Amino acid sequence: MNLPRINLVVIGHKDHGKSTLIGRLLYDSNAIPEQKLQEVEAELKKAGDEGFRFAFLLDTLEEERRGGLTIDIMQTPFKSKKHLYTIIDCPGHREFIKKMFTGASQADAALLVVSAKEGIQDQTKQHAFLIRTLGIEQLIVAVNKMDEANYEAARFKEICNELLPILNSLDYRVPAIVPLSALKGENVFNRTQKMPWYRGSSLIETLDRTVRSSASPIDKPLRACVQDVYKLESKKVVVCKILTGILEEGEIVNFDPSGEEGLVTGIEMFGKEIERAGPGDSVGLIVNKLREAKRGEVVSYPQNRAKVVRSFVAEMVLFSNIEVRNGDVLIIRCGTAENKCKVQKILERIDPINLTVNAKSPEVLKSGDVGKILFSPLQPMCIEKYSEFPELGRFVVEGKRGTAAAGIVLETHAAGAE
Ligand code: GDP
């Protein structure tokens, strides 16, 4: 049976137990490859200790994080009764921000880990803020290290009372909060006897009950990014990657921002002729009467056409060695397009720790800042709202030494409209 897939991003302050919890989920769900388990068994024989098996697994995970070994255990999917979960692991805080904003992976839900020992800290709030900004609507909280708090109800309540107003302010209304110990395996896969005051379900039962996989991109309007255009005898072949929707032979499509229109007379994938293609497919389109379409353009149908924008508002996070001021021109990469965009106005600087606007219309944004900016492209450009088309609603800013910033689009203002 094919279980629905869920991509789960695990977030929270450093040392609150994210890797331990991931290890526990993989271990208790029997997701670890046979070969790895045999290594564990061998070590276990030497030590003769039940606790050791799990500790050994954690050591292996730790090594993989540091060394980036070829078998990426952290990415091993694990099964529950209802879902196939894949963890999006973000070992460090910087990696987290980069991975999420550059769209290396698309999360359906987030699991926020808070240590009962240390309590709520800066990255707890900061990560919650970032996932909200990224439009991740499903959030589950694990209050970890309950063993270090003597499994006491009072400490759990205290954390809930501090956390709930923060999450509510981010519009996470009634998030499920589960007390557990990742290290001891209490209330992760198996329910615990240690917290009789807790009447809710274990973490995995809670995930199964509350999380849903995101709507399939197949049901959305067509958007595809042109990667290349070449001539084959008398025909033009447009190589493009489909992001959302279905592309069908015999349909009229638009290419924007050039504004061209053409009839799709053939679709090829891996050298074979096909009639239709969907999200994730890279295809060659044979389109008649095409003159100018080139790399960077967006393919859509006339009835729901890609937007060419006059300006757009984005939330942007600056990584390193970059400062942004009003009037600066940045090189923005979105889909396969690269465009120069002017910083029309820096609207706000946002404090991602206290979750407040800490400056209106600031002069400058610096490395590490998060800001809201009004951009205007210097050439015609297609870009979409992140909430509608995530793939065309996020962008990175190219600096002299690679990616300098990344952002997501909150609002677009169509060209020609007031
Ligand atoms: P990460 O930085 O969030 O990935 O945190 P780690 O998983 O590396 O854990 C940090 C430390 O907390 C390690 O020493 C873990 O052994 C410890 N730890 C994690 N979970 C628990 C738990 O449930 N109980 C206790 N007592 N310690 C834990």
pLDDT, one tens digit per residue, over 378-387 is: 999 999 998 8
Residue 20 Cα, ligand 1 centroid: separation in angstroms? 6
Ligand 1 pocket test, candidate residues 28, 54, 183, most atoms within 8 A of CB:
183
SS3 category, 272:
strand
* Residues 204 and 262 both lie in one domain: no
Classify residue 217: in a domain, yes or no.
no
> Please, are residues 232 and 280 in contact by the beta-carbon 8 Å criterion?
no
Most confidently modeled of 54-58, 100-104, 395-399, 407-411?
Answer: 407-411
Residue 394 Cα, ligand 1 centroid: separation in angstroms? 33
* Residues 73 and 36 both lie in one domain: yes
Mean pLDDT of 395-399: 87
- The band of 284, judged by pLDDT with boundaries at 50, 70 and 90, is very high
* Residues 138 and 200 both lie in one domain: yes
In whole numbers, what is the pLDDT of the chain averaged over residues?
87
* Residues 19 and 162 both lie in one domain: yes
Domain boundary among 210, 234, 263: 210
Classify residue 70: in a domain, yes or no.
yes
Most confidently modeled of 47-61, 219-233, 354-368?
Answer: 219-233
What was the pLDDT predicted at 1?
63
* Residues 257 and 332 both lie in one domain: no
Residue 321, by phi and psi: left (phi above 0), alpha (psi -120 to 50) or beta? left
Mean pLDDT of 316-333: 91
* Residues 202 and 112 both lie in one domain: yes
Q: For residues 210 and 139, what is the distance between their CA atoms, to the nearest angstrom?
A: 9
What was the pLDDT predicted at 74?
66
What was the pLDDT predicted at 108?
87
CATH of the domain at 185: 3.40.50.300
Ligand 1 within 6 A of CB of 181: yes
The protein residue whose alpha carbon is closest to atom 22 in ligand 1 is: 145
* Residues 59 and 99 both lie in one domain: yes
Question: Model-level pTM?
Answer: 0.77
Q: Above 90 in pLDDT, residue 48? A: no
Selected residue with higher pLDDT from 349 and 64: 349
Classify residue 218: in a domain, yes or no.
no
Residue found under tokens 């002069």: 363
Classify residue 331: in a domain, yes or no.
yes
Hey, how many other C-beta atoms are within 10 angstroms of the C-beta on 209? Answer: 11
Burial 167-196 (b: 16+ CB within 10 A, else e): beebebeebbbbbbbbbbbbbbbebbebbe
Of the candidate ranges 151-160, 178-187, 326-335, 392-401, the one whose mean pLDDT is the lowest: 392-401
Q: How many domains does the chain have?
A: 3
Q: Which residues contact 353 (CB under 8 A, 6 or more apart)?
A: 122, 125, 126
* Residues 73 and 54 both lie in one domain: yes
Mean pLDDT of 164-182: 93
Residue 17, by phi and psi: left (phi above 0), alpha (psi -120 to 50) or beta? left
The protein residue whose alpha carbon is closest to atom 12 in ligand 1 is: 17
* Residues 67 and 194 both lie in one domain: yes
Model confidence pLDDT, tens digit, residues 210-219: 998 876 788 8
What was the pLDDT predicted at 313?
97
Nearest in space to 294 (alpha carbons), one of 383, 234, 229:
229
Give the whole-number percent of the chain exceeding pLDDT 90. 55
Query: Amino acid identity, residue 406?
Result: A
Of the candidate ranges 3-7, 63-67, 111-115, 393-397, the one whose mean pLDDT is the lowest: 63-67
Classify residue 255: in a domain, yes or no.
yes
Of the candidate ranges 16-25, 250-259, 284-293, the one whose mean pLDDT is the lowest: 284-293
Ligand 1 atom nearest to 182, measured from its CA: 23
Q: Above 90 in pLDDT, residue 314? A: yes
CATH of the domain at 343: 2.40.30.10
Residue 148 Cα, ligand 1 centroid: separation in angstroms? 11
Classify residue 190: in a domain, yes or no.
yes
* Residues 205 and 294 both lie in one domain: no
Q: Dihedral (C-alpha) 30, 32, 33, 35: value to the nearest 10 degrees?
A: -110
Mean pLDDT of 336-353: 91
- The band of 91, judged by pLDDT with boundaries at 50, 70 and 90, is low
Domain boundary among 304, 331, 356: 304
Domain boundary among 304, 321, 354: 304
Model confidence pLDDT, tens digit, residues 181-230: 999 999 999 999 999 999 999 999 999 999 988 767 888 999 999 999 98
| Residue 221: cis peptide before it, omega within 30 degrees of 0 | no
The protein residue whose alpha carbon is closest to atom 9 in ligand 1 is: 17
Q: For residues 35 and 100, what is the distance between their CA atoms, to the nearest angstrom?
A: 31
Classify residue 278: in a domain, yes or no.
yes
What was the pLDDT predicted at 23?
87
Residue 54 Cα, ligand 1 centroid: separation in angstroms? 12
Angstrom distances, CA of residue 145 to CA of 16, 91, 101, 156, 406: 8, 19, 30, 10, 34
Tokens of 239: 């190589």
Model confidence pLDDT, tens digit, residues 70-81: 445 667 789 999
Q: Are strands 109-115 and 5-12 parallel, antiparallel or unpaired?
A: parallel
Selected residue with higher pLDDT from 351 and 112: 112
SS3 category, 98:
helix
Angstrom distances, CA of residue 374 to CA of 107, 270, 352, 358, 377: 27, 41, 19, 17, 10
Residue 77 Cα, ligand 1 centroid: separation in angstroms? 21
* Residues 166 and 26 both lie in one domain: yes
Ligand 1 atom nearest to 180, measured from its CA: 23
Classify residue 372: in a domain, yes or no.
yes
What was the pLDDT predicted at 231?
84
Model confidence pLDDT, tens digit, residues 103-147: 555 788 999 999 999 999 988 988 888 888 777 889 999 999 999
Mean pLDDT of 11-35: 88
Q: Which domain holds residue 197?
A: 5-210
* Residues 299 and 315 both lie in one domain: no
Q: Are strands 84-88 and 5-12 parallel, antiparallel or unpaired?
A: parallel
Residue 17 Cα, ligand 1 centroid: separation in angstroms? 4
What was the pLDDT predicted at 40?
65
